Amino acid sequence: MDVLKQFLRIQDTALTLDSFDQIQTFPECGGIGVFVGTVRNHHEGKAVQALKYTAYAPVAEKMIRQIEQEIQIKYSMFYVRVIHRIGALNIGEKAIIAIAYAAHRREAFAACEEAVERVKHEVPVWKEEFYMDGTSQYVEGCCIRKDDVKEQHVHHHPVNAEHDKHQHCHHAKENDPPIYQWPL
């Protein structure tokens, strides 16, 4: 097996997909899930000029790596990684990238989505928005996630009702993939 790339999960420079290991390192994978979150120009009716992310990096690093490991185990994944940007970001810049490699697309998509949601809800990263009118404010984050609790989560964007009806079925496989782990 090739040696996997080592990189910080909290970075203060522009994010790129080059940080991640290539799919060729995992020939048993047929599905790739990728999410790239960028800075948008509006929030709750206000025009956004820029934003700034801050984090308690030592804890955030450890938590993101733990989330990655938990998701790898949960979905029998080969590879799950997340990078989050800190510092000042302009409209259109990448704020977060998540990538998941799996044997099949369903697991790759589900793992990628869960990784982003868990980082957003659990990791100590704070977002301050700067508006075109000269004001700024820290964006109120979602409360800490409670595992296995079905609570209504209110979003300020449209929700796809079809997605909510879709059920994912995850079965343990006879030949479960190796879990690539690193020290926390």
Instruction: Output the CA–CA distances (angstroms, integers) from residue 29 to 47, 57, 108, in the order listed.
Output: 41, 31, 9
Nearest in space to 153 (alpha carbons), one of 5, 145, 128: 145
Annotated domain spans of the chain = 10-133
Question: What would the pLDDT profile of 93-145 be if each residue is shown by its tens digit?
Answer: 999 999 999 999 999 999 999 999 999 999 999 999 999 999 999 987 654 44
Asked whether residue 158 carries a pLDDT value surpassing 90, the answer given is no
C-alpha 139/C-alpha 129 separation (Å) is 7
For residues 64 and 123, the answer to whether their CB atoms sit within 8 Å is: yes
Q: Is 30 helix (H, G, I), strand (E, B) or coil?
A: coil
Distance between start and end Cα atoms, the chain: 21
CATH of domain 10-133: 3.90.1170.40
- What 8-state DSSP symbol labels residue 165? H
Length of the chain: 184
Q: Is 10 helix (H, G, I), strand (E, B) or coil?
A: strand
- What 8-state DSSP symbol labels residue 19? G
Which is higher by pLDDT, 147 or 173? Answer: 147
- What 8-state DSSP symbol labels residue 25? G
For the chain, what percent of residues have pLDDT higher than 70? 75
